[in-house]
Amino acid sequence: MSLDSKVPKGPIADKWTNHKNNINLVNPANKRLIDVIVVGTGLAGGSAAATLAELGYNVKAFCFQDSPRRAHSIAAQGGINAAKNYQGDGDSNYRLFYDTVKGGDYRSREANVYRLAEVSANIIDQCVAQGVPFAREYGGLLDNRSFGGVLVSRTFYAAGQTGQQLLLGAYSAMNRQIGRGKIKMYNRHEMLDVVVVDGKARGIITRNLVTGEIERHSAHAVVLGSGGYGNVFFLSTNAMGSNVTAAWKAHKRGAYFANPCYTQIHPTCIPVSGDHQSKLTLMSESLRNDGRIWVPKNIEDVKAIREGRLKPTEIAEENRDYYLERRYPAFGNLVPRDVASRAAKERCDAGYGVNATGEAVYLDFASAITRYGKEQAHVKGLDENDAALVKKLGQEVIKTKYGNLFQMYEKIVDQNPYETPMMIYPAVHYTMGGLWVDYNLQTTVPGLYAIGEANFSDHGANRLGASALMQGLADGYFVLPYTIGDYLADDIRTGPISTESKEFEEAEKNVRERIEFFVNNEGKHSVDYFHKKLGKIMWNKVGMARNVKGLTEAISEIKALREEFWKEVKVPGTANEFNEELAKAGRVADFLELGELFAKDALHREESCGGHFREDFVEESGEQKGEAKRDDENFAYVAAWEYKGQPSEAQLHKEELEFNDIELKQRSYK
């Protein structure tokens, strides 16, 4: 099967409008005859469910949490981008489009990204109308801040809880439709298979996580908004329950999986402190607006710090290496995430890490506190030279901007970041790869759609900060509700889909067999035992820096671990009850397959781009020495993998990326 991206013809700025004008519509009376399943209730799934229901479709929405409001979009901190140009600093749809394509290291599909930029402004209007309390200036208008990889202020925010506020907005839109009976909500339900009838996605099999009941649900189309797969690394900033199962089942039923190796390692997370750790906590990129990243210049100071003889605040300015400002003067601390993460790793690998494990750098707010403090003193007519006063006033400003993040840091690390710099280190945060979708967000299985982080299309090989929220809501509110109509227009006479077909039967049988296996297997090790081992392989060999030897080893180690898992996994309890270990077992089984495909994809991509950094593809000389070396001649394509029974046998399909509106060039932030 050849991949058809279905990108409409015509100039890039007109594509979406023309497409909307030309696709089929379903009339309001007929929408009542059509059912749509939405899996996942984060920003993408939640906004899609609400909008589809509002349009008149009968929506069934599913989440594994106890309420749709708890999906992990809620944890997004920093903000959401939109090309509003409220700051008058030269922003435009084209600039947002350009920054996103460049930030993604020229590995995303131009037309999709342009559309994203085009609808971004609408998202802000929509959310404000819903009562999302964005931060405002004293004049009552919306405030903005800056994020990495751009030179304008286009990020809208609600303190450090932007994801929470946007998700509660989408949740409230869902609640309105649940109240009207247009969305039927299934909490604590996990999707365990997609049902394909006559080549079309026609339903799903779910497990009720409270009773253990296996259920069949049918619909005319299935939408997956099930998020990313960062938890394949065990330790990540994802929620404990975030998983790849929905996307992976779709893959096994024929949906191609695109660019699995594109993973975002976020530069500013709280470092790992010990083996007991169950997850990592992000410190928002917005902190890089005011925080400066550094390590000591002298290795003796590093040693003294590690031995507790020296405090970071005691190191003089000239003995600090603000390495991002040094290496990237144009963007400084606001370089994109992949660049900032690699730079931190480079310093720590060179021996300059500032904590006991040697894997931490400082994020320092002292100069911002002084700057804001002086400004406040000036505004209030107080003494700008009174250091204690300036510090106090400055800390108050920092508190209003980042208070919840500072509190979170203090609770976890037991140090006061107002007084001493934060320690941070990169951690797995987001997956740019995902199910391959065309311009309509449809996967290679007709009637099966993927939106938000679950698809691959908009962020290329590296996502810019504050773009995930934008994409989730763009897909759910403004893209999918149009494009799905084009497909469903053929279904107005189909009538309800029966759940009695042999396809439903077969899918349910598979699900039941796997559950029976888990609860009856007399293994030796818990699910977490295997998950942690998988995570270690992924982090050490498929993490921030990759090479042929490590990737080849990872592939065989993951395969061996998977075999051991199926022999030795131990799941207590029974199938017909609330059983978290059972739910986890199914998720880890899928991670153990995805992990191998992930490494295979990383091995095949013989270039460095964005979050995919191959040590064997590095600029060796010139101004860009040491930076990633992309190979546009051979790798400017989307790698879409088709399932063939085993991850190792997955078949590669290429979607060549065309760049008509942006010149392909080396990404420079210097």
Partner 1 sequence: MNLTLKIWRQKNANDKGKMVDYQVSDISPDMSFLEMLDVLNEQLINKGEEPVAFDHDCREGICGMCSLYINGEAHGPDRGVTTCQLHMRMFKDGDTIFIEPFRAKAFPVIKDLVVDRSAFDRIQHAGGFISVNTSGNTIDANAIPVNKHDADDAFSAATCIGCGACVASCKNSSAMLFVGAKVSQFALLPQGQVEATDRVMNMVKQMDEEGFGNCTNTGACEVECPKGISLENIARMNSEYLKASLKG
CA 459 – CA 355 distance, rounded (Å): 33
Q: How many CB atoms lie under 10 A from the CB of residue 2? A: 6
**572 forms part of the interface with partner 1 (CB under 8 A):** yes
**411 forms part of the interface with partner 1 (CB under 8 A):** yes
Label residue 571 exposed, middle or buried (CB < 10 Å: 0-12, 13-18, 19+): buried
CA 30 – CA 521 distance, rounded (Å): 49
Q: How far is the CB of 476 from partner 1 (least distance, A)?
A: 9
**72 forms part of the interface with partner 1 (CB under 8 A):** yes
Strand partners, 450: 224
CA 3 – CA 656 distance, rounded (Å): 9
**154 forms part of the interface with partner 1 (CB under 8 A):** no
**483 forms part of the interface with partner 1 (CB under 8 A):** no
Instruction: Give the residue with the Cβ less far from partner 1, 242 or 444.
Output: 242
Confirm if 640 and 256 have CB atoms less than 8 A apart: yes
Q: Which of residues 510-539 bind partner 1 (CB under 8 A)?
A: 526, 528
Instruction: Give the residue with the Cβ less far from partner 1, 329 or 403.
Output: 403
**171 forms part of the interface with partner 1 (CB under 8 A):** yes
Residue type, 415: Q
Q: Which of residues 280-299 bind partner 1 (CB under 8 A)?
A: 281-282
Q: How far is the CB of 171 from partner 1 (least distance, A)?
A: 7
Choose the stretch contacting partner 1; rule: CB under 8 A; options: 45-53, 193-201, 415-423, 644-652.
Answer: 45-53
Binding mask 78-107 for partner 1 (x = CB under 8 A): ------x-x---------------------
**125 forms part of the interface with partner 1 (CB under 8 A):** yes
**357 forms part of the interface with partner 1 (CB under 8 A):** no
**276 forms part of the interface with partner 1 (CB under 8 A):** yes
Instruction: Give the residue with the Cβ less far from partner 1, 13 or 413.
Output: 413
**205 forms part of the interface with partner 1 (CB under 8 A):** no
Reduced to 3 states (helix: H, G, I; strand: E, B; else coil), residue 523 is coil
Tokens at 412, concatenated? 């976890």
**176 forms part of the interface with partner 1 (CB under 8 A):** yes
Choose the stretch contacting partner 1; rule: CB under 8 A; options: 175-183, 537-545, 595-603, 626-634.
Answer: 175-183
Q: How far is the CB of 32 from partner 1 (least distance, A)?
A: 17
Tokens at 141, concatenated? 């208008």
Tell me which of 24, 92, 277, 416 binds partner 1, using CB under 8 A.
277
Choose the stretch contacting partner 1; rule: CB under 8 A; options: 173-181, 302-310, 599-607, 661-669.
Answer: 173-181
Tell me which of 24, 298, 407, 646 binds partner 1, using CB under 8 A.
407
Choose the stretch contacting partner 1; rule: CB under 8 A; options: 6-14, 404-412, 506-514, 542-550.
Answer: 404-412
**155 forms part of the interface with partner 1 (CB under 8 A):** no
**51 forms part of the interface with partner 1 (CB under 8 A):** yes
What region, left, alpha or beta, does residue 89 occupy, with left being phi > 0 and alpha being psi -120 to 50 degrees? alpha
Q: How far is the CB of 126 from partner 1 (least distance, A)?
A: 6
Q: How far is the CB of 260 from partner 1 (least distance, A)?
A: 24
Q: Which of residues 441-470 bind partner 1 (CB under 8 A)?
A: none
What region, left, alpha or beta, does residue 447 occupy, with left being phi > 0 and alpha being psi -120 to 50 degrees? left
Instruction: Give the residue with the Cβ less far from partner 1, 328 or 591.
Output: 591
CA 647 – CA 602 distance, rounded (Å): 13
Backbone angles phi, psi at 364, to 5 degrees: -115, 130
Running DSSP on this structure, what letter comes out for residue 4?
A: -
DSSP per position, 529-555: HHHHHHHHHHHHHSSSSB-HHHHHHHH
Tell me which of 34, 116, 173, 334 binds partner 1, using CB under 8 A.
173
Instruction: Give the residue with the Cβ less far from partner 1, 80 or 445.
Output: 80
**47 forms part of the interface with partner 1 (CB under 8 A):** yes
**135 forms part of the interface with partner 1 (CB under 8 A):** yes
Running DSSP on this structure, what letter comes out for residue 352?
A: I
Q: How far is the CB of 618 from partner 1 (least distance, A)?
A: 34
Cα separations in angstroms, 79 against 135, 450, 456, 469, 658: 10, 23, 21, 8, 30
Tell me which of 164, 431, 443, 608 binds partner 1, using CB under 8 A.
164
Q: How many residues bind partner 1 (CB under 8 A)?
A: 80
Cα separations in angstroms, 518 against 211, 462, 515, 573: 17, 37, 5, 10
CA 419 – CA 410 distance, rounded (Å): 11
Cα separations in angstroms, 650 against 119, 252, 538: 35, 10, 19
HSE of 335 in the Cβ direction (CA atoms, 13 Å)? 26
Choose the stretch contacting partner 1; rule: CB under 8 A; options: 160-168, 438-446, 587-595, 601-609.
Answer: 160-168
Q: Give the residue from 470, 473, 474, 480 showing the smallest Cα distance to 450.
A: 480
> Parallel, antiparallel, or unpaired for β 155-156 and 183-186?
unpaired
Q: Between the CA atoms of 2, 7, 12 and 18, what dihedral angle is there, to the nearest 10 degrees?
A: 160
Residues annotated as catalytic (active site), given as ranges: 337
**30 forms part of the interface with partner 1 (CB under 8 A):** no
Choose the stretch contacting partner 1; rule: CB under 8 A; options: 154-162, 293-301, 325-333, 650-658.
Answer: 154-162
Tell me which of 126, 286, 289, 608 binds partner 1, using CB under 8 A.
126
Running DSSP on this structure, what letter comes out for residue 628?
A: B
**239 forms part of the interface with partner 1 (CB under 8 A):** yes
**65 forms part of the interface with partner 1 (CB under 8 A):** yes
Cα 328–chain centre separation: 25
Q: How far is the CB of 293 from partner 1 (least distance, A)?
A: 22
Instruction: Collect all residues with Cβ–Cβ distance below 8 Å to 482 and sequence separation of at least 6.
Output: 20, 23
> Parallel, antiparallel, or unpaired for β 155-156 and 651-656?
unpaired
Choose the stretch contacting partner 1; rule: CB under 8 A; options: 13-21, 138-146, 189-197, 626-634.
Answer: 138-146
Tell me which of 88, 274, 308, 622 binds partner 1, using CB under 8 A.
274
Choose the stretch contacting partner 1; rule: CB under 8 A; options: 59-67, 385-393, 541-549, 629-637.
Answer: 59-67
Q: How far is the CB of 508 from partner 1 (least distance, A)?
A: 24
Q: Where are the beta strands (DSSP E) in 441-590?
A: 448-450
Instruction: Give the residue with the Cβ less far from partner 1, 156 or 331.
Output: 156
DSSP per position, 387-438: HHHHHHHHHHHHHHHHHHHHHHHHHHH-S-TTTS-EEEEEEEEEE--EE---
